[in-house]
């Protein structure tokens, strides 16, 4: 009985963790690479989940909706960065604290708009595979977790290859280090940052699809995810893209074990405890360089 519970908790944790990595990926780009603490990212993910739910209500597959919504979300990300840049970077000083307040306000407005448009009712999607499980010996893997869990590493790997092997990708990784050098080599740093914000926003809709396939989503669901997303990025180490998978799984497994052996009501505190412990004990994260 114990072995059964333990194995299934680990299985669930690994799958959940993989999804957490998807959730944090946009933040790993904006915060990890560009050093812009976009705490509105989880609200984008929730907005993505709502878009997916809307598409699904017309009978479309959630993943197909996410794929179709990639471009609009990318454009929204461009616009959002443009707004942020006009407010802050033109003023000369990119004041982090004011920026945080701005992002806080944006996430709040976004959440409240969702609340006013769709009400407090939770949104969900209906797909054929929800409710069924893949059973391997003692281990039972529900498809509603397995499908998004397999999606996340694909997205992380794609982004990592893009950042490593393309010209623009390398520029994204360079922009926070030395904008001047980037300008000298003929690239507009502002264009690169805008592009990176677009990519981050596009990952939000995929993460939103993953989130709503797991279970129902409500407008303020992002609040909980802020902690998870930042815990993943910080634990991975700032700017480490592949690290998000390992960090996500570590957090997912911890949450699943706490849920299984203590109580599910304690699970929300797990990610935050890991975040605080990481900040206090190993601020450079698992895979990051000491700064």
Partner 1 sequence: MTSKTSTLPAVRPARPAGSRLTNVRSLAFILGALAIFAVGVFLTRAVENPFFFFASYIIIQYVALATGWNVLGGYAGYINFGAAAFYGVGAYTGALLLKAFDAPVLLCLPVAAAVGGVLGLLMGYMTLRVQGVYFAIATIALVVMAHTLVLNTDYLGGASGLALMPPEAPAWAGGQVQFLFLVMLGTAIFAVAVARWIEVSWVGRGFRALRASEEAAECAGVPTFRLKLAACAISGAILSMTGAPLVFYASFIEPETVFGLALALNAIAMPLIGGKKSWPGPVIGAILLGTVQQGATITISSELNILLVGVVLIAVVAVAPDGILGLLDRFKKGNRA
- Report helix, strand or coil for 233: helix
Nearest of 23, 36, 16, 4 to residue 175 by alpha carbon: 36
| Rounded least distance, CB 283 to partner 1, Å | 5
- Is 118 among the residues that bind partner 1 (CB under 8 A)? no
Which of 10, 87, 141, 170 binds partner 1 (CB under 8 A)? It is: 87
**Residue 256 CB neighbour total at 10 angstroms:** 23
Say whether residue 37 binds partner 1 (CB under 8 A).
yes
SS3 of 31-44: HHHCCCCCCCHHHH
Interface positions, 245-284, toward partner 1 (CB under 8 A): 263, 265-266, 268-269, 272-273, 275-276, 279-280, 283
Q: Give the start-end residues of each E strand in the chain.
A: 133-136, 139-142
Size of the site for partner 1 (CB under 8 A): 39
Q: Binding to partner 1 by residue 130, rule CB under 8 A?
A: no
Q: Of the candidates 3, 14, 81, which has an alpha carbon nearest to the alpha carbon of residue 250? A: 14
Identify the burial level of 88 via C-beta atoms within 10 angstroms of its C-beta, where 0-12 means exposed, 13-18 middle and 19 or more buried: middle
Helix (H, G, I), strand (E, B) or coil at 141: strand
* Site for partner 1 contains 104 (CB under 8 A): yes
Interface residue with partner 1, options 79, 105, 131, 215 (CB under 8 A): 105
Residues 214-233 touching partner 1, rule: CB under 8 A, are 220, 223-224, 226-227, 230
Alpha carbon of residue 218 to chain centroid: 17
Q: Does 132 bind partner 1 (CB under 8 A)?
A: no
Closer Cβ to partner 1, 87 or 141, answer by number: 87
What's the rounded Cα separation, in Å, for the pair 109 and 88? 19
| Chain positions contacting partner 1, by CB under 8 A | 31, 37, 39, 87, 95-98, 100-102, 104-106, 108-109, 112-113, 115-116, 220, 223-224, 226-227, 230, 234, 263, 265-266, 268-269, 272-273, 275-276, 279-280, 283
């Amino acid at each position: 009985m114990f072995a059964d519970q333990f194995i299934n908790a680990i299985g669930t944790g690994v799958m959940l963790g993989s999804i957490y990595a998807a959730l944090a990926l946009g933040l790993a780009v904006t915060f990890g690479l560009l050093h812009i603490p976009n705490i509105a990212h989880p609200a984008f993910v929730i907005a993505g989940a709502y878009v997916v739910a809307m598409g699904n209500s017309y009978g479309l597959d959630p993943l197909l909706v996410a794929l179709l919504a990639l471009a609009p979300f990318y454009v929204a990300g461009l616009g959002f960065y443009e707004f942020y840049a006009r407010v802050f970077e033109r003023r000369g000083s990119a004041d982090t604290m004011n920026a945080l307040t701005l992002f806080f306000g944006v996430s709040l407005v976004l959440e409240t708009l969702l609340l006013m448009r769709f009400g407090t009712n939770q949104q969900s999607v209906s797909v054929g595979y929800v409710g069924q499980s893949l059973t391997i010996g003692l281990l039972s893997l529900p498809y509603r977790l397995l499908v998004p869990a397999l999606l996340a590493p694909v997205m992380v790997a794609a982004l990592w290859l893009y950042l490593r092997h393309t010209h623009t990708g390398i520029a994204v990784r360079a922009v926070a280090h030395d904008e001047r050098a980037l300008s000298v080599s003929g690239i507009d740093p502002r264009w690169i940052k805008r592009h990176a914000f677009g990519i981050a926003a596009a990952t939000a809709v995929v993460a939103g699809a993953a989130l709503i396939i797991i279970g129902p989503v409500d407008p303020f669901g992002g609040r909980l995810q802020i902690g998870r997303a930042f815990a993943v990025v910080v634990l991975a180490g700032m700017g480490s893209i592949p690290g998000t998978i390992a960090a996500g799984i570590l957090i997912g497994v911890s949450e699943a074990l706490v849920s299984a052996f203590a109580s599910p009501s304690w699970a929300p505190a797990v990610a935050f405890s890991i975040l605080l412990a990481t900040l206090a004990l190993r601020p450079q994260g698992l895979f990051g360089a000491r700064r």
